[in-house]
Structure 1
Amino acid sequence: MRHDMAFANADFIPGGKDYPARWASRAAAFRAALGPRARLGLRYGEAERNWFDLFTPEEQPRGVVVFVHGGYWLRFGPRDFSHLAAGALARGWACAMPAYSLAPAARIGAITAEIARALAAIGAACAGPLALAGHSAGGHLVARMGAADLDLPAELVPRIARIVPVSPLSDLRPLIETSMNADLRLDAAEAAAESPALLPPRPGIRVHVWVGGAERPAFLDQARRLGNAWACPVTVEKGRHHFDVIEGLEAAAAPLTAALIG
């Protein structure tokens, strides 16, 4: 398909195919080390993958970071990325990581609705501000939470302190012409309705887009499209590619963590 190469990542990253196994190993070790401060499988809905994991710091949390995983809405789960909660916990924030139904079992609009329900459940379970981060397809999903058309509980919206889409997919129309669309089943109407770059942001929402400087040109373009559409800052992190750009979330002092929670 015309845009397959544009959105391929592993083929253009040295050792790219090894990253998923490394993520899963680091995530499992992180959960094991956290012990009872890792609360796993909390439900937010009836579908099989309607659950979230919640990691808490030793002290009373200052707020909660919500991290939404990527994988083109087709693969992975939050337990491949548990270790990315480390930076937030070190800063005294809790971190929630929701699962969601994957395509082709669910279309992207339905996945967006699931994340909205997850966010409401996380907000009910955790006090204080919420800071949303997501990577790739997860970047799309957290950006959707910042779009004005999405219905969220009125009491939840003022608690959203910051949204940081990392390497987000913000304009879904090119994905129609990729082979993965056999499973995504995007058509022109859904692609437009689910593209944050084509939607107005919520008034007053604070968004900071993050992308790696060594990413595929399509992802640099997707990040800049969202930044331009929403008039928000875009940080291009030098030397980072699509798979290592999220590593800053592991460190309390990393610029990515600072962009998310200050």
Structure 2
Amino acid sequence: MDLQAEYDNRARVPEHPAIIAGWQHDAVAFRDSWPETELGIPYGAGERERIDLFRPGPGDAWPVALFLHGGYWQALDRGFFSHLARGFLAQGVALAVPSYDLCPQVTLARIVDQVRAAATLLHRRLGRKMLATGHSAGGHLTAMLMATDWRALDPGLPPDLVAAGLPISGVFELEPLLPTTIGAGLHLSREDARALSPRTLPSPGLPLHAVVGGAESGEFRRQTRDFAAAWGGTAEELPGADHFTVLAPLAEPGSALARRAAAMALAIR
């Protein structure tokens, strides 16, 4: 198997620069237009340790979802994804979008710690458990949050602080990345890759729905199927969607994906 071809999504989708530029344009326009927005909430001391929070209306009495961006842990930030809040807000769910530091400046284990800190800050601020969702690398981070032993981090936290997950085009087994150009920037040993692979971790027994594009590589589709089966969740392929267009329905309030995401967040008590 040509693992480089299977996992190099930018090479597989030559039009990706225009898609990513579209995300950025839409995100800026949304931030400028939505009144119930709080930008740059710190969850740590670092420059990128910030969260943007979008509420359906005044106050904090809203179900909440946490969206984790992709970029193979090496690119992008929260500022490209603000517009995804539209699909949540229309159904009464707040969306929080954090940035995190990037590899190789930090380790992947450090990024996992950062998103845990972001989720902890949201819980302490809003007093709510949450749905985690994320795209690509963010799908991996979604699963890592679901697998977290929150009581080990702080006995005062609920064990199901992240109470459900909806990873989109995630990577749940990291070892196949090691011989690729993507893996080169992660500086993972095989032992690190196994330890940070959700597929190798015990299922937390939480609601899980994993999504992947029907036009994505065989490996991405296999990983989604295998991970969902291992954790007792459900899996879905979006027909005709590639690794980048798979994210579009999340920003559309009437889409099946946006409705499912909001329903998962609304079901959390």
TM superposition score category, shorter chain reference: over 0.9
For 2:2 and 2:215, the matched residues in 1 are separated by: 22
Q: After alignment, is 99-108 or 216-225 more displaced?
A: 216-225
- Alpha-carbon shift at residue 14 of structure 1 (Å): 5.5
The one-letter amino acid of 2:81's match is F
For 2:8 and 2:111, the matched residues in 1 are separated by: 22
Is the 1:214–1:239 contact (alpha carbons within 8 Å) kept by the matching residues of 2? yes
For 1:252 and 1:133, the matched residues in 2 are separated by: 16
Is the 1:249–1:257 contact (alpha carbons within 8 Å) kept by the matching residues of 2? yes
- The corresponding residue for 1:216 is 217
Report the TM-score, using the length of structure 1 for normalisation: 0.93
For 2:9 and 2:183, the matched residues in 1 are separated by: 17
Secondary structure of 1:6 counterpart: helix
- The corresponding residue for 1:58 is 57
Q: Which consecutive aligned stretches of 4+ in structure 1 deviate over 4 angstroms post-superposition? A: 148-154
For 1:48 and 1:239, the matched residues in 2 are separated by: 38
Q: Percent identity?
A: 34
Is the 1:68–1:139 contact (alpha carbons within 8 Å) kept by the matching residues of 2? yes
Secondary structure of 1:97 counterpart: strand
- The corresponding residue for 1:47 is 46
- The corresponding residue for 1:245 is 246
Indicate yes or no: 2:44 matched with 1:32.
no
For 2:254 and 2:64, the matched residues in 1 are separated by: 17
For 1:207 and 1:133, the matched residues in 2 are separated by: 10
Is the 2:146–2:163 contact (alpha carbons within 8 Å) kept by the matching residues of 1? no
For 1:234 and 1:223, the matched residues in 2 are separated by: 7
What aligned pairs does 1:132-147 form with structure 2 within 5 A after superposition?
132-147=132-147
CA distances 1:73-125 after superposition (whole Å, capped 9, x unpaired) = 00000110110011111111111011101001111111101100110001112
The one-letter amino acid of 1:236's match is E
- Alpha-carbon shift at residue 249 of structure 1 (Å): 1.4
- Alpha-carbon shift at residue 143 of structure 1 (Å): 0.4
Secondary structure of 1:163 counterpart: strand
- The corresponding residue for 2:78 is 78
Report the TM-score, using the length of structure 2 for normalisation: 0.91
- Alpha-carbon shift at residue 178 of structure 1 (Å): 0.8
For 1:16 and 1:71, the matched residues in 2 are separated by: 12
Is the 1:69–1:77 contact (alpha carbons within 8 Å) kept by the matching residues of 2? yes
- Alpha-carbon shift at residue 166 of structure 1 (Å): 0.6
Q: What 5-or-longer segments of structure 1 have no aligned partner?
A: none
For 2:167 and 2:46, the matched residues in 1 are separated by: 25
Indicate yes or no: 2:116 matched with 1:116.
yes
Q: After alignment, is 64-73 or 41-50 more displaced?
A: 41-50
CA distances 1:40-96 after superposition (whole Å, capped 9, x unpaired) = 111011222111111111255431110000000000001101100111111111110
For 2:74 and 2:161, the matched residues in 1 are separated by: 30
- The corresponding residue for 2:194 is 192
What aligned pairs does 1:10-25 form with structure 2 within 5 A after superposition?
10-13=10-13, 15-25=15-25
For 1:169 and 1:256, the matched residues in 2 are separated by: 19
Between the two proteins, the alignment pairs up a number of residues equal to 260
Is the 1:208–1:259 contact (alpha carbons within 8 Å) kept by the matching residues of 2? no
Q: After alignment, is 116-125 or 221-230 more displaced?
A: 221-230
CA distances 1:209-230 after superposition (whole Å, capped 9, x unpaired) = 1111111112101111211211
- The corresponding residue for 1:69 is 69
The one-letter amino acid of 1:165's match is P
- Alpha-carbon shift at residue 236 of structure 1 (Å): 1.1
For 1:59 and 1:157, the matched residues in 2 are separated by: 28
Alpha-carbon RMSD: 1.9
For 2:122 and 2:158, the matched residues in 1 are separated by: 10
Is the 2:215–2:241 contact (alpha carbons within 8 Å) kept by the matching residues of 1? yes
